[in-house]
Amino acid sequence: MSGFDVHLADARRSRTLLFFAALGGALALIAGLLIFSAGERPAPAMDDAPRVATLERDGAPAAQQADTSVDAPAAIEPVAAPSLSGLALIEAEHAQFAGLWRADIEPVQTTVRSGQTFASVLDDAGASRIDAARAIAALEPYFSARELRAGQDLTIFMEVPGAAAFASAEAIGADAPETRLAGFSFRPDSERTLTVSRVGDQFRTREAVASLEREVVRARGEVDSSLYLSAIEGGATDRIVVELANILGFAVDFRAIQPGDGFDIVFERFVNRRGETVRTGEILYVVFEGRGDPLEYFRFTAPDGEVGYFTADGESAQRLLMLMPINGARISSSFGMRFHPVLNTNRPHNGTDFAAPRGTPIMAAGAGIVERANRFGSFGNYIRIRHSNGYETAYAHLNGFARGIRAGARVQQGQTIGYVGTTGRSTGPHLHYEVHLNGRPTNPMALDLPTGRTLSEEELELFEAERERIIQIRDQALPAIADAGAFAERPTALASAGASGDAGR
């Protein structure tokens, strides 16, 4: 016999026909799905997809540099669709590269929990360790996995093999395809979307950056219940109010603010195409009209790059020490003689106590060197900082220390150094704050402190030009809220005095 088996040949011919029939059916199914996806379902995209800006890295256009892959085949051409993100981009990648093994893509929404890593998040979603490692490596040039924080939302896309994939595998005697990682998408900040997608056995990263419009707006009005709430109602944001408190904190006792006090804030904000505020920038101008003389400050960047706020006369708003090293607190015990609530005796109280919830951040009142940060007798957790001009400050009863705060560390004014607690001899959560001048305790609330930077004649000329520019910007700034027209008619005491400097302080 020749060795040729007719029955075996017929069987092989049947399997071959079955394979090509399955292949044709799979390709027809893929084409139908793609046509259906393109015609019936709009591709989801980030909020500002029509205004996604092209980026340049190392001098090359974004179209060439927006992709990062690990050992990707050189013959693969990048998909020129930077405006796609999330599921749409993942599906586009698969339509071009997956071919016969086209799988359904299922999104998995997840929020990072405390203690999780990128690898553990992907593992929980069902990704293999190899796929997770390759995907994280592709992401690294744009976002370090070490920066992942609890609360971050991610959409993880998993390949779920469809019926056609199983049929094709069975037809050629291959192993059944398994569910695997197709990619993931997330927003590391308000302006970027990062999408990592599978290309064969490797991954690539796309970065889409929203194009935002800069506006300079004005929030002004009168204090009603609190400066914070009134500023928010006037169109400011939480961040702007915090910055406002930092600027005014050297001269304003926030406990003394009363209804009817006026404020005027000119600041930058960045909005998307729907007019929604994505983030805020710098405060350019501030006025506060309390019980004393009005306070007016202009933002100025000196030639050496140092940024500060100055009165119309060029006097710095900054002082050697902040008046209060804590926000949102009330004075529960003042400097001087008092009846001690634990020792039940009259004795000197060499500091000021600020009652605040446990965990409230405590700031360094001024720049200096930490002399000690440890447990210190009845003071509990205690920090002492040495400043210039013979000043020292102390902070007691802390719940804990901020990262990096230890003896010998250098701190900046306003830097968080610890958190309110009730350690040591204490009846409740509060900050005990002391100021010493040349070794002698001094009332922190009655200090007459030297100012910060003094502008030279050359710097003063530059500041005056910047002051005039800011006044023009202020007068042309739009209200921070659409219905703020009522505030526009309310003149402030400094509305026309800014250029003269007569109202500066």
Q: pLDDT of 281-320, one tens digit each?
A: 999 999 999 877 889 999 999 888 888 899 999 988 888 8
Q: 476 forms bridges with which residues in the sheet?
A: none
Structure tokens at 246: 């930092």
Structure tokens at 426: 């204490």
DSSP 335: S
Q: 3-state DSSP call for residue 396?
A: strand
Which is more confident, 98 or 266? 266
Buried b (16+ CB within 10 A) or exposed e, 434-446: bbbeeeebbebee
DSSP 423: -
Highest mean pLDDT among 90-99, 105-114, 175-184: 105-114
> Do β-strands 277-289 and 180-189 pair in parallel, antiparallel, or remain unpaired?
unpaired
Q: 373 forms bridges with which residues in the sheet?
A: 383
Tell me which architecture the domain covering 6-210 has in CATH: Roll (3.10)
Structure tokens at 380: 């509990």
Q: In this structure, which CATH number among 3.90.1720.10, 3.40.50.12280, 3.40.50.620, 3.10.450.350 belongs to the domain 213-318+453-488?
A: 3.10.450.350
Q: Quickly state the pLDDT bin for 71 (edges 50, 70, 90).
A: very low
Top-level class of domain 330-446? mainly beta
Is residue 454 within 8 Å of residue 300, measured between CB atoms?
A: no
Residue 393 CA, chain-centre distance (Å), reads 31
Residue 74 CA to residue 187 CA, distance in Å, equals 29
Angle in degrees, CA 43, 45, 46, rounded to 5 = 170
Residue 20 falls in which region: left (phi positive, over 0), alpha (psi -120 to 50) or beta? alpha
Q: Where are the domains of the chain?
A: 6-210, 213-318+453-488, 330-446
Are both 6-210 and 330-446 of the same fold?
no
Average the pLDDT over each of 101-110, 128-137, 335-344, 391-400 and give the range with the smallest value. Answer: 335-344
The pLDDT of residue 32 is: 57
Structure tokens at 167: 């049929």
Structure tokens at 198: 């599978």
Q: Quickly state the pLDDT bin for 175 (edges 50, 70, 90).
A: low
Q: Using one digit for the tens of pLDDT, what is the confidence trace for 226-244?
A: 888 899 999 998 889 888 8
User: Average of pLDDT values for 417-436?
Assistant: 90
